[in-house]
Amino acid sequence: MVEGEGERGHYRYGSRERSGVVLSIIVPTYNESENIPHLLRSIRDGLEAKLQRIDSSAEVIIVDDGSPDGTAEVAERHSNMAERLRIRVLRRHSRRDLLSAVLDGLNTAEGSNIVVMDADLSHPPSLIPTMLDELMHDRCDLVIASRYVDGGSVAEWSIRRKALSISANMLARTILNLKVKDAVSGFFACRRWVLEGVNFTTSGYKILLELLVKADNIRVKEIPYTFVNRSHGKSKFSARVAIDYMRAVWMLYRYGRKRRVERRGSVLFLSRAARFYTVGASGLAVNYGVASIANLLLSNMHIATLAGILCSITSNFILNKLWTFEDTDLAILHVLRQYAYYVGLSSVGGVLQFTLTHLLSSIYGMQYNIALILAIGVASMWNFLSNKKWTFREKVWG
Ligand code: GDD
Ligand code: MN
């Protein structure tokens, strides 16, 4: 089961997974009435024995966009075709894009695994049991039926369509830095949570592409197949699809870049914090060292203590400026202003620690040592964040 609900734009998913349903095959259709009977029969023939063996059932979800050729009616006529294979038809009233068809199918799917495929028999249904095996034996989370691994191919495509597909694939793989060979396959199988975990924002044909970019920590496997041209009906591939595709690649590229920057932001924050507290620890040593030496030389305890404090604040400031926050602006007025800020804010930290310790131990009756630890924690957090923001003029986060 998936925890909670996923949200994707206007789609909201409550998982309808049902035990005993091992697989949902989602097939978007538009004017595929001639292909549907053949498709459903081959799915059944390929899957029946396996379902019997594992004592489970599966479903095919036809997501039809009001095809005028009666695709939905043809599919409904086959709904009692097999005992373990349920055929469901999801009718949408007007033509919308392919991605939203798949997501609407997913929304009503009950299987713990999902297959996405075309209706026109370009994607051989005989491959489905193999794909399911890969998932059930936990060899991966996503299986891509691939034209571009050894053993895979495309039959009977025109040179033009071949070139288009190969360059579309290459473009995506380089720009988006993908490892898989066929990133634009329309035929794949995955665990249900893989699809449910992605917030899809592109439209059109590029479901797999967006999945590969956004779910980047899943285990992916490619198995070869031969894409055969449809023998009935017309391809819906068009210039519009190609333009949508370019836009999707561009959007996903920007998405990846933004995420890399954000990631760097958190790394930056943590490395700044680590340096800041290392400097703080070095300050303790400076404080102690200077005070004891000064006491030896001057034999005046109070002046020695003061010297220790002043030296450690100053050395902390210098190290934090040059090392922690990598600020190399040495203009004298600028440095003096920063120093004043640093001393001021750190003093506020000292007062904060003092007050908090008093408050927690005397007024709320907390044990002194625990109160002290809490107060030191709060004060040093204050010191880091306030100096990051006001002394060194950085964003608090990042
Ligand atoms: N519901 C719905 N709505 N289904 C649609 C729509 C739509 O607007 N447009 C197309 N489909 C269905 C078709 O009926 C078919 O089942 C499937 O989506 C793929 O459409 P095709 O028109 O056959 O696509 P293609 O053969 O040109 O492209 C295929 O190969 C590409 C690889 O080069 C698809 O599998 C692509 O996803 C794939 O990238
Ligand atoms: Mn096709």
pLDDT score of 9: 40
Number of domains in the chain: 2
Tell me, in angstroms, the distance from the centre of ligand 2 to residue 255's CA.
29
pLDDT at 262: 63
Distances from the Cα of 303 to the Cα of 37, 310, 313, 343, 346, angstroms: 95, 10, 15, 19, 20
Contact 32 CB / ligand 1 (< 6 Å): yes
pLDDT confidence of residue 282: 95
At residue 238 the predicted structure's pLDDT band, cuts being 50, 70 and 90, is confident
Same domain, 273 and 287: yes
Q: Are residues 292 and 186 in the same domain?
A: no
Let me know whether 55 and 90 are in one domain.
Answer: yes
Does residue 396 sit within a domain?
A: no
Note the pLDDT of residue 261. 66
Residue 5 lies inside a defined structural domain of this protein: no
User: Considering 218, 236, 262, which residue would you say is the last residue of a domain?
Assistant: 262
Q: Is the CB of 384 under 6 A from ligand 1?
A: no
16 lines ligand 1 (CB under 6 A): no
Same domain, 358 and 382: yes
> Which of 237, 262, 287 is where one domain is finished?
262
Residue pLDDT, tens place only, 176-214: 989 999 999 999 999 999 999 899 988 777 899 999 999
Pocket test for ligand 1, best of 26, 64, 96, 98 (most atoms within 8 A of CB): 98
Q: Is the CB of 237 under 6 A from ligand 1?
A: yes
Ligand 1 atom closest to the Cα of residue 27 is 16
Q: Residue 397: inside a domain, yes or no? A: no
Contact, 54 vs 89, CB < 8 A? no
| Per-residue pLDDT tens over the stretch 249-288 | 989 988 887 777 666 677 788 889 999 999 999 999 999 9
pLDDT band at 375 (very low <50, low <70, confident <90, very high): very high
pLDDT in tens, 65-74: 999 999 999 9
**Final residue belonging to a domain, choices 262, 294, 322:** 262
What number does the ligand 1 atom closest to the CA of 122 have?
Answer: 26
Whether residue 328 lies inside any domain: the answer is yes
Ligand nearest to the CA of 117: 1
Q: Whose CA is nearest to atom 28 of ligand 1?
A: 237
How far is 345 from 357, CA to CA, in rounded Å? Answer: 18
Shared domain for 254 and 298, answered yes or no, is no
Q: Indicate if 275 and 146 belong to the same structural domain.
A: no
Domain containing residue 191? 11-262
DSSP H or E run through 114 = strand 113-116
> Domain check: are 46 and 87 in the same one?
yes
What average pLDDT does this structure show over 32-56? 96
Atom 29 of ligand 1: nearest residue by CA position = 186
Domain contains 4 = no
The confidence score (pLDDT) of residue 101 equals: 95
User: 295 and 354: one domain?
Assistant: yes
The ligand 1 atom nearest the CA atom of 95: 8
6 is a domain residue:
no
What would the mean pLDDT of 7-34 be, rounded to a whole number?
A: 78
Residue 258 is part of a domain; what is its CATH number? 3.90.550.10
d(CA 237, CA 227): 15
Question: Are 243 and 343 in the same domain?
Answer: no
Instruction: Please check whether residues 41 and 179 belong to one and the same domain.
Output: yes
